[in-house]
Amino acid sequence: MSFNEMENDGALREAYAAIQQWLSETPLDALRQKRLEAEALFKRIGITFAVYGEGGDPDRLIPFDLIPRVFSVAEWDLIDRGVKQRAAALNAFVGDVYGEKAIFKAGVVPGAILEGNDAYLQQMQGFTPPQGVYTHIVGIDLVRTGPEEFYVLEDNARTPSGVSYMLENRETMRRLFPDLFGSGTVRPVDGYPDLLRRTLTEVAPAGAPDPPCIVVLTPGHFNSAYYEHSFLADEMGVQLVEGSDLVVEDGAVFLRTTRGLEKVDVIYRRIDDSFLDPRAFRPDSALGVPGLMDAYFKGQVTIVNAPGTGVCDDKAIYCYLPEITRFYLGEDMILPNVPTWRCAEPDALAHVLDHITDLVVKEVHGSGGYGMLVGPAATKAEIEAYKTRLIADPKAFIAQPTLALSTCPTLVDSGIAPRHVDFRPYALVGREVRLTPGGLTRVAMREGSLVVNSSQGGGVKDTWVLAP
Amino acid sequence: MLSRVAENLFWIGRYAERAENIARLIDAVRRMVTLPAQFGRSTTNEWSSVLIAAGARDQLGASIETADERLAVDHLIFDQTNPSSVHNCFLRARENARAVRATLTQESWEALNAAWREMRGFSPQDTKGAGLLDVLDWIKAKSAIFRGSINATMMRGDGFDFLTMGSAIERIDTTARLLDVKYHVLLPSLKEVGSVEDHYQWLSLLQAASAQRAYFFATQEDVSPKGVAKFLILNPRFPRSILYNLKLADATVADLEAFYNHEAPCRAPLSSLVLRVSNLTIDEVLDSGLHEFLTDVIEQNAHNALQLAEAYGFAPIIGEEPSLGSDPGQ
């Protein structure tokens, strides 16, 4: 039985007192009506998640569930410390990977771990970005299985998305249910754009003007996350640019404007590494800026997040995070990983092979649920086929137990029912690590489903962090 | 401002204007075809002439000669292969707006977003019979809401100027083409100046430009070919006349020059065109040939748009296509 975040065996959890009262006073029909209003609002504002080139509705919405997910003061304290620690450890590790490689020399993490890691960029070797920060915006995916049991499922150190939903979900809730926020017990999230701008300002190159010229670089308005790119640029009061709006001259990056060329100091890019600069990476990239990496290495411009930070999103590295945290910070990890067996280790491999029907086995470099074996759901033939692959190349696999994700009350066709959720808070790393009290709660709308991805029908909720 | 943003704003101005112009054009024809023959029902096919005015000859081929209301309305409002259909105007205005969301005000963006979303909900079925008028009113209302929100909420700066330039250039082009096509379609009736038939046909031309009441108010004259031509070309106060919009474009570029504290090379030819047209009489225009004059205006106007784009870093203008007719002198 999964842990229900609101109530278990009829016992209401204290953080949900206000929610419980609100739900008891609000008829289902009224909630359904409000949900329609919320959808109309999202469509009018244009908060859509268009997936171009896949057919379907270009005006598609991510389902928004009205019932907030709530964290108590104590729970948030744990998450806050844990996520900040994790962001610091990841930065230290990436800096070491592209610097001294001390952790490999000390034998704490095997050097061979970087083999086959496509996110590793040889070009970054020996380069230190301003303030020594590599991953400035970090999304840490958390799951929960009990009152005290939080686990990190995944680190997103490249270019995590979804933060605009944190802000818009709150905005929508405040508009639809102003009374819910009247008592001032919910901590605000709308400081995020300001913190983001401050973070970007802090990592501007040495010698940049104050304030520096900051831009958000988007692949363009056909990208599914375009709304978020424009939203963040708008909220920060900076330019939203496409690759063709930028040009490199004399080793520096400039905007093409109606006044002529203007120098750019910080680029918050929302395009992948391989598209950044056709001269350095994919020559066929039309999204990038020729010469950008050259300007970056000359210290003329800061790219956020730094190219090559994706190395630490790898599952092989994920499972060394306890060792990584201890090595750089001298601390025990506050938010544990999901227990993970590294199949490269003979004992672990033996355990995995013995218990494979209870486990989830994943490819080390895979993502998005591809190439995964879910033991309890797999057929005998699938398991045998997977075992063959596993034995042939054990280091390419890890295994984890199947987790019973916590549930939150959610408005569905049949009424209000528990649905599984996860959670992504966003840490900002500049001169210090900052965390907005909130994040993105994703919810699997189908009964029993553990799949919260928006591409597979997952929805989102407002996330409340209660004030002390 | 990014040059690309200037370009997007310019096109938003053009497409929003174009959608409305098409609705007005259809509305005028709808009135014409309901006239009894003795009151000016032309022997030519009005639906065919409106399609020719809209530049559909290449796309529709021979079927344009026997066009009926259904074909014309489908092509002008719904056809997704017609780059200037109302559907595509709203689509492109909204796409351009989406690319510059941070520059537009929330209300202006929502106006275009709503126009596009609601447009997708209409089908040709909705324009049958009396429904057509509702849809035309809806198109005009959506354009008006957008224009109104811009006027009420947008900062007067370079962004506003680029939008205004798009709108002014589109109107000059539309009015010139409308007048040119109609002049030729209606040419036979010139011989019978003052006839009932003549009266109603020129009246419909004014209606297409939403100029009927303004015309009577400003001129206190009967409808005549010369009077209508004079009004639509030279009236300095009618917001769809060629002169009014040339002056607007000139003043807008002057504003851009002041905003950027930098002379724009596109200003001089624009100012000289304004001066030339201001000093013309309608007799001089007609004596030297209305068609030649209008062709010149259309070409100058396109050239001015290009020069504007060059001055502010977004030339060449990509995706440029005629707003109303590539076939003005048929």
pLDDT tens across A78-130, in order? 999 999 999 999 999 999 999 999 999 999 999 888 888 889 999 999 999 99
Q: 80-99 in B: which are within 8 Å (CB) of A?
A: 95, 98-99
What value does the mean pLDDT take over residues B8-29? Answer: 91
pTM of the prediction?
0.83
pLDDT band at A53 (very low <50, low <70, confident <90, very high): very low
Range name among A60-74, B93-107, B191-205 with the lowest pLDDT average:
B191-205
Closest by Cα among B164, B232, B239, B176 to B14: B164
Whether B191 has a pLDDT exceeding 60, the answer reads no
8 Å CB contact of B95 and A241 = no
Cβ atoms of B290 and B181 closer than 8 Å: no
Strand partners, A410: A417
Q: For residues B184 and A448, what is the distance between their CA atoms, to the nearest angstrom?
A: 71
ipTM of the shown complex: 0.76
What value does the mean pLDDT take over residues A234-257? Answer: 93
8 Å CB contact of A260 and B313 = yes
8 Å CB contact of A257 and B109 = no
Of A74 and B61, the one with more pLDDT? A74
Q: Does A363 reach chain B within 8 Å, measured CB to CB?
A: no
The residue of chain B with its CA nearest to that of A233 is B102
Whether B54 has a pLDDT exceeding 80, the answer reads no
Range name among A297-311, A327-341, A391-405, B135-149 with the lowest pLDDT average:
A391-405
What value does the mean pLDDT take over residues B26-42? Answer: 69
Q: For residues B325 and B48, what is the distance between their CA atoms, to the nearest angstrom?
A: 12
What H or E segment, with its residue span, contains residue B25? helix B3-33
To test the contact with chain B by mutation, choose from A244, A253, A258 the residue with the greatest count of B C-beta atoms within 10 A, namely A258
pLDDT band at B183 (very low <50, low <70, confident <90, very high): low
Whether B217 has a pLDDT exceeding 90, the answer reads no
Q: For residues B276 and B230, what is the distance between their CA atoms, to the nearest angstrom?
A: 15
Q: 247-266 in B: which are within 8 Å (CB) of A?
A: 260, 262
Can you give the pLDDT at residue A52? 45
Environment class of residue A373 by beta-carbon count within 10 Å: exposed (0-12), middle (13-18) or buried (19+)?
buried
Cβ atoms of B206 and B223 closer than 8 Å: yes
Can you give the pLDDT at residue A368? 54
Q: Does A163 reach chain B within 8 Å, measured CB to CB?
A: no
Range name among A78-92, A406-420, B218-232 with the lowest pLDDT average:
B218-232
Structure tokens at A334: 């506050």
**Mean pLDDT across chain A:** 91
Range name among A54-63, A213-222, A276-285, B118-127 with the lowest pLDDT average:
A54-63
What value does the mean pLDDT take over residues A369-378? Answer: 78
pLDDT band at A43 (very low <50, low <70, confident <90, very high): confident
8 Å CB contact of B113 and A257 = no
Whether A40 has a pLDDT exceeding 80, the answer reads yes
Can you give the pLDDT at residue B330? 26
Cβ atoms of A159 and A272 closer than 8 Å: yes
What value does the mean pLDDT take over residues B173-195? Answer: 64
* d(CA A220, nearest CA chain B) in Å: 7
Whether A451 has a pLDDT exceeding 80, the answer reads no
Q: What is the pLDDT of residues A2-18, one digit of tens each?
A: 899 999 888 999 999 99
| B3 interaction partners in chain A (CB closer than 8 Å) | 245, 256-258
Cβ atoms of A304 and A267 closer than 8 Å: yes
Q: What is the pLDDT of residues A147-163, one digit of tens each?
A: 999 999 999 998 888 89
What value does the mean pLDDT take over residues B308-315? Answer: 90
User: What is the number of CB-based contacts under 8 A between chain A and chain B?
Assistant: 56
Name B62's Cβ contacts closer than 8 Å, sequence gap at least 6: none
**Alpha helix stretches (DSSP H) within A203-270:** 226-236
**Mean pLDDT across chain B:** 84
Tell me, what amino acid is at A447?
E
Whether B192 has a pLDDT exceeding 60, the answer reads no
Q: 29-68 in B: which are within 8 Å (CB) of A?
A: none
| A221 vs B98, B110, B158: nearest CB | B98
